[in-house]
């Protein structure tokens, strides 16, 4: 089956308190896209954060002494570093330009995913959504109620990676679609056992959607996906997070 | 623009010496797919390796003492470990079930990408292609000559990751499409500068294609892509490999 990823045009500039479900439904309708069972909507974390009021003014942040120290090492604004620390469970690595952390949400990323591009107000930064799984679930429920179709919703961000250059889209919240698919025991063409068992399908879809979005959010913070090749089911981000004791690179 | 990824049906079981360009053109024609400028073809490394005769019989391998030692640590066949070592520049981590290496091709992966699923002969394993960039280039040139369209070709494999569960598709060879796209300096919606500069677009496309392929290669080792959103250009895998001195997790 063909997989199609279509940017949904006409998403306005999102403001705190905006109703993403209503905006999504209106934009889909204007684009002539009729939701069907099995469709997935992929939304960038930026507009979820904006709708949820996760903008923070640096002027209101007082850095701790630890933030001041890490700011010197990372060559960052100490107030930004204070926010990074407040959003993180632990700091893994520091270098000029980047503080690699385990985010309070459980994944590893640079600078706790705090963004200061595409933020309208000077000296403001955007934190990731408080609970991206819950954001995805809430959006999904509203879309399913109105649209009458069984859907998946994926909230994505862009993360750097060990070993490879360039950021790629990754899942940070999901509802209604699998994070991992376990192919263990499915016989291959010669009835041997597959060696590779777990596929990070939500991350693969996040990367695909990110490719279509580009990085600057200009009009494409929402992607409509048709032809996702695995059955939809209940899931949460946790299944994509490697437990620390299984992680050779933390 | 919509991105579409379509499995190309009818690829036969690949044998050493098979001409992938001819097989690809025949399969595209049967599927009614007419190549256009800007299209990308994504092929799994497995069929490239098979066509290039990269099957190795373990019976012909004599393990070194280092291979025997690592085999005990990793609970693997010493002959397989010998092949892993011969395909690797260095070993990064060892645990039961996995030897994480820097492959001779420059990327980090488990078990040097050596596969023993979907291999027809007992006690045989499949090495990655000798030079995947060259494989991609050769396939691309042949397809462009016959099809008359400007194309990209991407050879992909599935790699595990630090920090996250599940394998995802990644590029291991490319020709004619960018590995990285540099968005540095492109003004965002508020004319600030983008913080994130480099996007691993070839890896994002690899992940997207992997999602459509599944893991067992059953009839979908080749994906036709239309709507890749960046201009095609000459490139090689090197641009996706993080230099060791910039890597905080090696």
Q: What is the pLDDT of residues B58-83, one digit of tens each?
A: 999 999 999 999 999 999 999 999 99
- Mean predicted confidence (pLDDT) in A188-204: 70
* pLDDT exceeds cutoff 90 at A248: no
Q: Do B193 and A242 touch (CB under 8 A)?
A: no
Q: Do B183 and A214 touch (CB under 8 A)?
A: yes
Residue A91 to residue A78: CA distance in whole angstroms: 15
Contact A37, A68 (CB under 8 A): no
Segments in chain A forming alpha helices (H)? 20-30, 45-51, 65-74, 78-86, 132-147, 201-213
* pLDDT exceeds cutoff 60 at B166: yes
Give the model's pLDDT for residue A147. Answer: 82
Contact B245, A242 (CB under 8 A): no
- The chain B residue lying nearest A98, using CA atoms, is B248
* pLDDT tens, residue by residue, A88-127: 999 999 999 899 999 999 999 999 999 876 566 778 999 9
ipTM of the complex: 0.95
Best mean pLDDT range from A192-206, B3-17, B194-208? B3-17
The mean predicted confidence, pLDDT, of chain B is: 92
Q: Do A239 and B196 touch (CB under 8 A)?
A: no
| Residue B116 contacts A where some CB pair is shorter than 8 Å | yes
How would residue A193 be classed by pLDDT, with cut points 50, 70 and 90? very low
* pLDDT exceeds cutoff 80 at A194: no
| Residue A165 contacts B where some CB pair is shorter than 8 Å | yes
User: Nearest CB to B192: which of A117, A158, A204?
Assistant: A117
DSSP A58-111: GGG----HHHHHHHHHHT--HHHHHHHHHTEEEEEEEETTEEEEEETTS-EEEG
Contact A153, A222 (CB under 8 A): no
pTM: 0.95
């Amino acid at each position: 089956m063909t997989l199609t990823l279509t940017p949904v045009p006409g998403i306005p500039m999102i403001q705190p308190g905006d109703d993403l479900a209503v905006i999504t439904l209106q934009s889909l309708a204007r684009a002539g896209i009729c939701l069907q069972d099995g469709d997935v909507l992929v939304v960038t974390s930026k507009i979820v954060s904006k709708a949820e009021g996760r903008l923070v003014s640096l002027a209101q942040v007082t850095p701790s002494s630890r933030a001041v120290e890490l700011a010197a090492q990372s060559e960052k604004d100490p107030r930004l570093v204070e926010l990074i620390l407040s959003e993180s469970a632990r700091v893994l690595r520091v270098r000029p330009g980047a503080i690699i952390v385990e985010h309070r949400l459980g994944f590893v990323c640079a600078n706790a995913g705090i963004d200061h591009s595409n933020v309208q107000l000077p000296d403001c930064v955007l934190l990731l959504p408080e609970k991206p799984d819950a954001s995805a679930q809430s959006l999904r429920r509203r879309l399913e109620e109105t649209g009458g179709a069984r859907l998946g919703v994926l909230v994505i961000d862009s993360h750097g990676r060990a070993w490879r250059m360039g950021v790629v889209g990754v899942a940070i919240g999901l509802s209604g679609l699998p994070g991992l698919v376990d192919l263990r025991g499915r016989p291959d063409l010669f009835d041997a056992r597959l060696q590779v068992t777990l596929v990070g399908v939500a991350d693969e879809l996040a990367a695909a959607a990110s490719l279509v979005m580009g990085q600057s959010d200009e009009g494409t913070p929402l992607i409509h996906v048709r032809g996702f090749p695995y059955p939809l089911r209940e899931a949460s981000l946790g299944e994509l997070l490697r437990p620390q004791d299984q992680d050779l690179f933390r």
